[in-house]
Structure 1
Amino acid sequence: MNYVFVPGAWHGGWAWHPVAQRVADAGRRGIALTMPGLVAGDDARELKLIDAVTYLVTEIERRDLTDVVLVGHSWGGIPIAGAAPRLAGLLRRIAFVSAFVPRAGESMADAMSPEVGAFLRSAIEASPEHSIAVDFESFRQSLMQDEPEHLQRLVFDLLVPQPGGYMLDALEEVDLEDVPVTYLLAEEDRALAAPGVELAARAGVEPVLLPGTHETILTHPDEVAKALLEHTGS
């Protein structure tokens, strides 16, 4: 069984390394991908959401992977939903981990409140790199609240600006009917665009609760890996 991990906005594959290693220790293969534009120094100006989806599909095909559990965190729920129909026959299951479950025609910016959506659009349009960064205070309060500040700053310093196209583009179609779905939800998550229970319902499942905040994949990797193996391994 191959677990392919997709990170959220501003994050690279590094965010999944603690979970991927634990999955590997349990005898499965764990592959943590970094989407195009999310390595320091990448040029994100021309990137579109379809580029992330295509990269994900291409990497799975290039590596000749089968029996794949495709796992997305946060924004990473969008590209895994987009990739799923293109990977028919290769997927065992998809798993959303405190992740956005998109609807057809709905971008990440569209899913936010009108005020936040307007801010994202204006900030991306004003950026020479056509990207959007997150400030430390927002990160500290919404993504990693109640954790020690030294840990918050360590994670924050690893983040890079998110390509604007990833936030403003939408999937034309979303079809999750042909692949089993798992939804894992961090109990203290404040960063999701909608309540986690509602997002899980979009995928037709009940959420499995995990401890921690939005960054549970880094702060509680033992629990995340255990839940993934228990709820996706059969």
Structure 2
Amino acid sequence: MDRTLQFVFVPGAWHGGWSWHPVGHRVRAAGHTALALTLPGLAMGDDPTGLRLADAVEHIVTEIEKRDLRDVVLVGHSFAGIPMAGAAHRLAGRLARISFFSAFIPRRNESMADAMGPELAAYVRAAVAASPDGTIGVDYDQFRALLMPGEPEPLQRLVYDQLLPQPGGYMLDALDVDGVNTLGVPITYVLADRDGALAAPGDELAARVGVEPIMVPGTHEALMTHADDVAKALMSSPSA
């Protein structure tokens, strides 16, 4: 290992930093440091009311800047590709690499809801509008079918029981920034081979940032079920 890198992990929708702990343990065992963030509104006891995508971006930036982290590998799962892309524009001088894991790569002015297509976007907007605190949840059957298909049911239930409703603004807001591939920072895209939960094919998403996906086994939740493979892939760049 040439140098110690600072891995900063950002979780996907409904998830907290806990979802990155299995990978984080392995990154630390390899001699790097690991910080697993939980976005505002997604820790037990948080008030999610009124949170917007800008709050998620600001949280990532603030947590890295207040610790004065350098040589950062900024890693995002699923929805986290959106706020991570916004934060990367403000953190480029601190970044050693940007790494996406089965993550969405946003187009300019495209929200997570819009990326799902008109029918699902309408469903998300209606669900957020109907929620007293402006959030959107995911039911167990949707979760197990889309995010963890084929995994043992006790494991599916264990992970599902950790989830919290997602602040609606995170799903409805969009970024007005250039792609992260314009920042001059190395990029990797790690893709689970049985991931059926992405808003577009994984190889297409990777192509948006000009890379080929690094394949690992597992579903959308492979960061927990196949942590060895995901950690190895995230540390596989020559810069690590």
Q: Could you say which TM-score interval applies, normalised by the shorter chain?
A: over 0.9
The residue that corresponds to 2:23 in the other structure is 19
Moved runs in structure 1, 4+ residues, more than 4 A? none
Residue type at the aligned position of 1:84: A
Distance 1:45 1:172 in 2: 23
Tell me by how many angstroms 1:120 deviates.
0.6
Residue type at the aligned position of 1:227: A
Match of 2:109 among 100, 105, 111: 105
Q: 1:232 and 1:196, CA in 2 relative to 1: closer, same or farther beyond 3 A?
A: farther
Q: Please say if 1:152 is aligned against 2:163.
A: no
**Structure 2 residues without counterparts, runs of 5 or longer:** none
Whether contact under 8 Å (1:69, 1:232) holds in the other structure is no
The residue that corresponds to 1:187 in the other structure is 193
Whether contact under 8 Å (1:82, 1:174) holds in the other structure is no
**Structure 1 residues without counterparts, runs of 5 or longer:** none
Tell me by how many angstroms 1:232 deviates.
6.2
**Partner-residue secondary structure (3-state), 2:88:** helix
Whether contact under 8 Å (2:110, 2:174) holds in the other structure is yes
Task: Please list the CA deviations of residues 128-166 of structure 1 after superposition, one character each: whole Å capped at 9, or x if unmatched.
Answer: 010000000000000000000000000000000000000
Q: Please say if 1:197 is aligned against 2:203.
A: yes
Q: Give the alignment's TM-score, normalised by structure 2.
A: 0.96
Distance 1:217 1:115 in 2: 29
Q: Give the alignment's TM-score, normalised by structure 1.
A: 0.98
Match runs of 1:1-234 below 5 Å: 1-176=5-180, 177-178=182-183, 179-231=185-237, 233-234=239-240
How many residues are matched? Answer: 234
Tell me by how many angstroms 1:114 deviates.
1.5
Tell me by how many angstroms 1:88 deviates.
2.2
Distance 1:46 1:121 in 2: 14
Q: Identity rate of aligned residues, in percent?
A: 63
The alignment yields a C-alpha RMSD, in angstroms, of 0.9
